[in-house]
Amino acid sequence: MSATPYDSLSKDAQTAQIEFASDFEQALAGASDPWAMELGRSRRTRALKTKFPVPVTAVGFEEFRGDPRYRTLSSRTIEATIKEYFDGVSEKRTTVEAPDFMAWDDEPANMAAEAAALPNSLVGDLLVAATGGTHPWDDLSFFNDAHLVNPFKPSAGTFDNQFTGQAISLATLKLIKARFRGIKKANGKRPLGLRLTHILVHPDQEQDWRDFEQNQRVGASGGEENRHRATFEVIVGDDLPSTLSGIYFPLALNKVGMYPWAVQQWPSPEVRFLGLDSAMYEKQLNIGVDVILRATAALGMPHCIQRCAIA
């Protein structure tokens, strides 16, 4: 009788792997879209690299004097290259084949929750690093005090989108709205028309911001009339890093074509079964299931986001 390297994987073990994959896919399908995809531009495609357009339109009518002047539509692009993200579980083959094996019961749902939230983590990391480096809009850091309104026409003016000493208060909300309103169109002549729509906050700030989002009267004694009530939505970034606990991000998402960041994901994750022919079984006598996600994110247009430090 000829020898074989391993026995066949039992029906119980195969069933455990299949059920894991099925439970994971069902949980992922039922998950809500993460805030990173709701607030930014998102694409689901198998492209390995995506270019997101950043249009610069200096639209504006002038009196016709017999010599028509045509504008060239200019744009810049933001490139994002797909990266791979991995998670997996494994157990001894004998453990999985045992009739009382239950170790994977909740793990498919846990993995699905993490998979759904991956765009949040990617954008959170970008926001942490956004005070340094350069951004394609005007080759300055994404959060900067002197962004160009029109990178092709510096004389059109500048705007800033980072601020310090921004307490959570009615006065600050008034300033935030005025700053968005003050950003000019690419022709430098009139306001772009941005309006505060959302504020992305770290969980540590949630309760304070909820007061200004929902309460009619605010302040230490509840004596201040809150005219900003219901004019914006608080988004709690549960996945924001702890380094952003004293930072919040006002967003103006009322203009079509403007977005603070972009996210690309492959349409579906790759789920793999690790059986008797895997290197893991050969070395550890383990079998398992792993999941590979392919995604990327990039910062978008600095006009429609502010970085505000509380202190």
For residue 154, give the DSSP letter: G
pLDDT tens digit string along 131-155? 999 999 999 999 999 999 998 889 9
For residues 262 and 37, give the distance between their C-alpha atoms in angstroms, rounded to a whole number: 8
**Mean pLDDT computed over 286-301:** 95
Q: Which two three-digit tokens encode residue 193?
A: 């028309």
Band the pLDDT of 8: cuts 50, 70, 90.
confident
Q: What is residue 5's predicted lDDT score, i.e. its pLDDT? A: 42
Those residues with Cβ within 8 angstroms of residue 307's Cβ, 6 or more apart along the chain or in another chain:
127, 130, 131, 143, 161, 162, 163, 247, 249
Alpha-helical runs (H) found in the chain: 11-29, 35-39, 93-97, 107-129, 170-182, 206-214, 279-284
Those residues with Cβ within 8 angstroms of residue 209's Cβ, 6 or more apart along the chain or in another chain:
168, 199, 201, 234, 248
pLDDT tens digit string along 99-130? 888 878 899 999 999 999 999 999 999 999 99
pLDDT tens digit string along 167-206? 999 999 999 999 999 999 888 888 999 999 999 999 999 9
Q: What is residue 73's predicted lDDT score, i.e. its pLDDT? A: 53
Give 11-60+68-309's CATH code, choosing from 2.60.120, 3.90.1690, 3.90.550, 3.40.50. 3.90.1690
For residues 182 and 186, give the distance between their C-alpha atoms in angstroms, rounded to a whole number: 13
pLDDT tens digit string along 234-264? 999 999 999 999 999 999 999 988 899 999 9
CA 19 to chain centre: 30
Domain boundaries of the chain, sorted by first residue: 11-60+68-309
Other C-beta atoms closer than 10 Å to the C-beta of 10 total 13
| Percent of the chain with pLDDT strictly greater than 70 | 93
Report phi then psi at 181, rounded to 5.
-65, -30
Those residues with Cβ within 8 angstroms of residue 293's Cβ, 6 or more apart along the chain or in another chain:
84, 85, 86, 115, 118, 265, 266, 269, 270
Is residue 285 scored above 80 in pLDDT? yes
